[in-house]
């Protein structure tokens, strides 16, 4: 009898949950005036705003280094060879952001290094797109197509999203054509994943598969709440296991405004290095919780320096918004507009203080002097705050590598971190400069790339 009663309560609970779920869904009308839940009405309005993106890039094939050696070619009577190229193709998705201007949002990694970008609409039309601007640190890119009669998705306020809200992912998975999957918001504010330089992801169980990148994550009103960008896949297996990530629409809007105005993001800079607070540090700094970040270094002349921030200060909030850790502080500052004044909530020696700081634009220090012949074509500078390695390792960042240059042939890539030269540890650009020339003799570089360390020998 007890089991029967429990079953009735359980069934009643399931029925109630079903009613709540159905009440939140859009409805369509069928014959006989039957009311049935359906996403179709919303999707009919939303799908035309989601596009397919195909890219082509011409990649130079790297030959054996010996074939570039004049002495080796002469000794074996090998004629000088012309550079060989192969065509690389990729597929992704995009979202029409401004129908009048033909602006389309997508991921930076979808169009990165593309020589041709083709945008295909749901009505069968295709257009060649031009790049307006991109931001690798947040993986947002904006392209433009010369098209009329477009349909754009309205932006939602992603700050109002809640865990459990229904969402729908629209994109082009595996190049199959436009596909729709549904799910819920599984988590908010995901960071520290090492996927992008600045992370504040929406996590969803709506299937996001290869090719969905740059597509739309919409709510049940058909409003854009995020741009699909990544999946979590253990063992690097291709496919979705129910953990997908999207860039919130509010972050996308902040980035897009700057891309339209400047063609790039002029990132705000506070000028500090931070460390997460653990239980031991919380006790040492006389604070009640381990939320926030402790200042470990202040850049001279920076906004933090001018605001009076000190090493050992614990920053717990910005403009009243609570900070969880060092990543959340870096994300918050990195998305501010240059010249914006903020209030820093600080605990110093157990006492609460409020400091005002006016954030500045990041001033890149780029090495433009003589370098080793094998380094020509690359630009170097101090590690940017947008890098996931900022404050975690010391060294010099490779800002860019010109295609076909000696540095490219040597194996250098943009965003590599050089941590030592000829076994001499370097901390910054000033340490790197005297070692980078070396009269053309051999260079042994220790490099960190995608979280892995490796050596490059340059002769």
Residue 109 falls in the annotated catalytic set: yes
Nearest Cα to Cα of residue 415 among 394, 443, 396, 393? 396
Cα distance between residue 199 and residue 316, in whole Å = 19
3-state secondary structure of 307: helix
Buried-exposed string 341-373: b where 16+ CB fall within 10 A, e elsewhere: ebebbbbbeeeeeebebebbebeeeebeeebbe
Q: Which of 57, 90, 93, 109 is catalytic?
A: 109
Answer for the pair 91, 118: CB distance below 8 angstroms, yes or no: no
Q: Which of 135, 139, 205, 327 is catalytic?
A: 139
CA distances in angstroms from 102 to 29, 40, 212, listed in the order given:
34, 26, 21
Q: Which of 57, 191, 207, 213 is catalytic?
A: 213
Cα distance between residue 401 and residue 411, in whole Å = 10
Token pair 């996927």 is found at: 195
Answer for the pair 127, 181: CB distance below 8 angstroms, yes or no: no
Residue 213 falls in the annotated catalytic set: yes
Answer for the pair 396, 414: CB distance below 8 angstroms, yes or no: no
Residue 376 falls in the annotated catalytic set: no
Answer for the pair 185, 203: CB distance below 8 angstroms, yes or no: yes
**Active-site residue set:** 109, 139, 213
């Amino acid at each position: 009898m007890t089991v029967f009663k429990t079953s009735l309560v359980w069934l009643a609970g399931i029925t109630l949950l079903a009613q709540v779920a159905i009440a939140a869904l859009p409805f369509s009308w069928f014959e006989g005036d039957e009311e049935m839940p359906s996403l179709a009405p919303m999707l009919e309005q939303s799908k035309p705003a989601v596009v397919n993106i195909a890219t082509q890039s011409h990649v130079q094939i790297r030959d054996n280094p010996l074939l570039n050696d004049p002495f080796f070619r002469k000794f074996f009577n090998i004629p000088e060879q012309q550079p060989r190229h192969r065509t690389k193709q990729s597929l992704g998705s995009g979202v029409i952001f401004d129908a009048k201007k033909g602006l389309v949002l997508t991921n930076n990694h979808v169009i990165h290094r593309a020589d041709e970008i083709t945008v295909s609409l749901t009505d069968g039309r295709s257009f060649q797109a031009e790049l307006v601007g991109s931001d690798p640190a947040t993986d947002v890119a904006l392209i433009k197509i010369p098209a009329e009669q477009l349909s754009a998705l309205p932006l939602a306020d992603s700050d109002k999203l809640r865990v459990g809200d229904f969402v729908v992912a629209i994109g082009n998975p595996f190049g199959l054509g436009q596909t729709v999957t549904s799910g819920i918001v599984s988590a908010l504010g995901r960071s520290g994943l090492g996927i992008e330089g600045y992370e504040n992801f929406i996590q969803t169980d709506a299937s996001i598969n290869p090719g969905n990148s740059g597509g739309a994550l919409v709510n049940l009103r058909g409003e854009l709440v995020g741009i699909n960008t990544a999946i979590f896949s253990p063992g690097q297996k291709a496919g979705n296991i129910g953990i997908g990530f999207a860039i919130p629409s509010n972050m996308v809007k902040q980035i897009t405004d700057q891309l339209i105005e400047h063609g790039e993001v002029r990132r705000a800079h506070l000028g500090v290095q931070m460390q997460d607070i653990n239980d031991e540090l919380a006790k040492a700094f006389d604070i009640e919780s381990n939320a926030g970040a402790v200042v470990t270094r202040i850049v001279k002349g920076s906004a933090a320096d001018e605001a009076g921030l000190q090493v050992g200060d614990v920053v717990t909030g910005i403009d009243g918004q609570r900070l969880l850790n060092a990543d959340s502080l870096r994300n918050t500052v990195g998305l501010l507009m240059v010249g914006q004044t903020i209030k820093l909530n600080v605990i110093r020696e157990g006492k609460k203080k409020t400091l005002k700081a006016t954030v500045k634009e990041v001033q890149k220090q780029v090495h433009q002097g003589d370098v080793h012949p094998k380094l020509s074509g690359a630009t170097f500078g101090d590690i940017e705050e947008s890098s996931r390695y900022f404050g975690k390792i010391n060294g010099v960042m490779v800002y860019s590598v010109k295609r076909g240059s000696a540095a490219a042939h040597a194996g250098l890539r943009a965003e590599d971190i050089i941590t030592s030269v000829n076994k001499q540890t370097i901390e910054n650009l000033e340490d790197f400069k005297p070692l980078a020339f070396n009269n053309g003799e051999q260079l042994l570089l220790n490099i960190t790339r995608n979280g892995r360390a490796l050596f490059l020998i340059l002769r």
